[in-house]
Amino acid sequence: MKTIDELLAEGVSGKRVFVRADLNVPLDGTTITDDGRIRAVLPTVKALAGAGARVVVASHLGRPKGAPDPAFSLAPAAARLGELLGAEVPFATDTVGESARATVAGLGDGGVAVLENLRFNPGETSKDDAERGAFADELASLADVYVGDGFGAVHRGHASVDDLPARLPHAAGYLIAAEVSVLKKLTEDVKRPYVVVLGGAKVSDKLAVIDSLLAKADRLLIGGGMAYTFLKAQGHEVGISLLQEDQVPVVKEYMERAERNGVELVLPVDVLASTEFPDLRTKAPAEYTTVDADRIPADKEGLDIGPKTRELYASKIADAATVFWNGPLGVFEHPDYAGGTRAIAQALVDSKAFTVVGGGDSAAAVRTLGFDEDAFGHISTGGGASLEYLEGKTLPGLAALED
C-alpha cells in the first residue's frame, strides 16, 4: 500500500488530489454534534495542501436515497473543515455536475474544496458495475491523484471507495495508515491478556466478530442491548428488554465454544431496569430500579449495566495488556443510563493496556461523556470497518489501495 509520504515525495504541487474522507458526522439539524471525523482527516488534508496540491475532499453522509436531500448535505461539514483549517473551503453543491467542475477548476495550489454528498448520486452505492463505474469515471475526471482516507467507509464496495482508485494513481492517507497499524495490533502478535468489550443494541450486528474473537480473545465482556439475548440463552427472564429471540440458539453455541476454548465470557450480574424507555430529547429524570441480571421483572427492560457489573468489568480490564471496546453498555445518551458506558471508558483510561475504542457510538460516547481522547491508545473513526477487519474480511477500500 503506497503511503501519502511516498506520494508527497514524488511531488503533488499543482495536482488535483481527490481525498475520499469520512465526513459522516452526526447532525442535529445543521449543527454538528461531534466533529471527530472531520478532525481525523486534517493531517492528510493539511499535508497535501501544504505541498501545493489542489485538494478535492469528498464523502458520504447518512443514507440518502441516491438523490439530493437537504437533510444530508455536507455543507455543515465543509464549513467546519474551513474553520479547522483557518481558510476558506469552497463547497460544490453537486457531486460531478457543473458546480463540482467549476469549484475544482477554481482551486489554486494549496486550495481545498468539498464536494456535495457522494450518495446524492445513485452511482455511488449502485450494485450495477456499469452504473457505479460510470460515476467513478466522472469523479476521476475531477482529479489527477486519489488518496483514500475515509476509514469508516473502507468496508463498502462503493464507487468512490472501490472503483475510483483503479482509475487514478493512489495512496493511503495518514488516517487509514494509522487505523490499519492499530488493527494489526489486535489481530497479529497480540499482547495478552487480550480483553474485548462488546456492547450496542443488536447481537446480530456482532455475531461475526464474536465468532472470530472466540479464537483470539482471552476475555469477552458483553453489555448493552445485546446482553439480554445472552442472558436469555442462559435461561433467565429478561422482561421487555431488547431481545433477538431468533439468535438465542447461535448465542448458546458461542457460549459453549467459549468454554471449550478457554475464553472467559462475562455477562452482566445486575442492570438498571425500567418500565419505560427514557426521553432522550428532554433528558428528564428516569425512574428505574437496580435488579439482578437473572431476575429482571417481566414488566421492565434493562437499560444499563448496574454498579456490581461496572466493578466486575473494571476488574476484568485492570490486568489487560490489550483492550478493544466497541458499543455502549447502556443508553448512554441519557444521563441516568450513562454510568455503565462511563465506567468502561474510565477502566480503559485507568488501564496500562494498549486501548482501542472501536468507533461509532463508542467514540461518540467517549467525547459526549467528556473524556480526554489522548487518554486512550486509539479511537477509531470506523465502527463497522473495524469490526469487519477483526472478522478477517477483505475490506474493498483497503484492497483497492493495495493494487
Copy the grid coordinates of residue 146: 486519489
Which residues have a catalytic role annotated?
A: 37, 202, 360, 384
Identify the CA nearest to 19 among candidates 78, 88, 83.
78
Same-domain status, 355 and 271 = yes
Say whether pLDDT at 202 is over 90. Answer: no
How far apart are the C-alpha atoms of 75 and 61, rounded to whole Å? 11
Copy the grid coordinates of residue 225: 442491548
Domain boundary among 133, 152, 174: 174
Residue that has been written with the C-alpha cell 486550495 in this structure: 111
In a domain, 384, yes or no: yes
Segment 89-115 shows an average pLDDT of: 98
Q: How confident is the model at residue 248 (pLDDT cuts 50, 70, 90)?
A: very high
Q: Is 62 annotated as a binding residue?
A: yes
Lowest-pLDDT range of 146-160, 245-259, 348-362: 348-362
Same-domain status, 158 and 209 = no
Q: What is the CATH number of the domain that holds 243?
A: 3.40.50.1260
Residue 215 is given by DSSP the state: T
In a domain, 398, yes or no: no
Same-domain status, 17 and 160 = yes
Q: Is 86 annotated as a binding residue?
A: no
27-28 vs 31-32, strand pairing mode: antiparallel
Residue numbers of the domain that contains 331: 182-391
Contact 187, 216 (CB under 8 A): yes
Same-domain status, 360 and 230 = yes
Identify the CA nearest to 339 among candidates 304, 287, 376, 292.
304
Instruction: Give percent above pLDDT 70 in the chain.
Output: 100
- pLDDT of amino acid 116: 98
Same-domain status, 214 and 346 = yes
Q: Is 65 annotated as a binding residue?
A: no
Domain boundary among 129, 152, 174: 174
pTM greater than the 0.85 cutoff: yes
How far apart are the C-alpha atoms of 401 and 153, rounded to whole Å? 13
What's the Rg (C-alpha) of the chain? 22
- pLDDT of amino acid 243: 94
Beta strand segments in 130-224, E: 145-148, 170-172, 194-198, 219-222
**Coil, strand, or helix at residue 290?**
strand
Average pLDDT along the chain: 95
Q: Is 342 annotated as a binding residue?
A: no
- pLDDT of amino acid 363: 86
- pLDDT of amino acid 2: 94
Residue 335 is given by DSSP the state: G
- pLDDT of amino acid 124: 98
CA distances to 71, 76, 290, 386 from 27, in Å:
9, 9, 33, 23
Q: How confident is the model at residue 341 (pLDDT cuts 50, 70, 90)?
A: very high
Same-domain status, 89 and 226 = no
In a domain, 43, yes or no: yes
- pLDDT of amino acid 384: 86
Q: How confident is the model at residue 318 (pLDDT cuts 50, 70, 90)?
A: very high
Q: Is 361 annotated as a binding residue?
A: yes
Q: Is 23 annotated as a binding residue?
A: yes
Segment 328-345 shows an average pLDDT of: 95
Q: Is residue 59 left, alpha or beta, with left meaning phi > 0 and alpha meaning psi from -120 to 50?
A: beta
Facing residues of 27 across strands?
32
Domain boundary among 151, 174, 197: 174
In a domain, 396, yes or no: no
Q: Find the helix or strand (DSSP H, E) in which 249 lies.
A: helix 248-261
Q: Is 24 annotated as a binding residue?
A: yes
Half-sphere exposure of 158 (CA within 13 A, CB side): 23
Q: Is 261 annotated as a binding residue?
A: no
Same-domain status, 207 and 113 = no
Q: Is 11 annotated as a binding residue?
A: no
Same-domain status, 158 and 240 = no
Q: Is 302 annotated as a binding residue?
A: yes
- pLDDT of amino acid 364: 85
Same-domain status, 351 and 205 = yes
Q: Is 333 annotated as a binding residue?
A: yes
Say whether pLDDT at 137 is over 90. Answer: yes
Q: How confident is the model at residue 203 (pLDDT cuts 50, 70, 90)?
A: confident
Is residue 193 reached through a cis peptide bond, with omega within 30 degrees of 0 on the bond before it? yes
- When divided into structural domains, the chain yields a total of 2
Q: pLDDT of 162-194, one tens digit each?
A: 999 999 999 999 999 999 999 999 998 899 999
Q: How confident is the model at residue 371 (pLDDT cuts 50, 70, 90)?
A: very high
Contact 305, 199 (CB under 8 A): no
- pLDDT of amino acid 381: 86
Same-domain status, 164 and 190 = no
How far apart are the C-alpha atoms of 168 and 246, rounded to whole Å? 46
CA distances to 51, 98, 228, 237, 284 from 299, in Å:
62, 58, 14, 11, 21
In a domain, 265, yes or no: yes
Please enumerate in sequence order all residues whose Cβ is within 8 A of that of 388, keeping only pairs 6 or more positions apart, or say none: 155, 208, 395
In a domain, 91, yes or no: yes
In a domain, 211, yes or no: yes
In a domain, 22, yes or no: yes
Same-domain status, 195 and 339 = yes
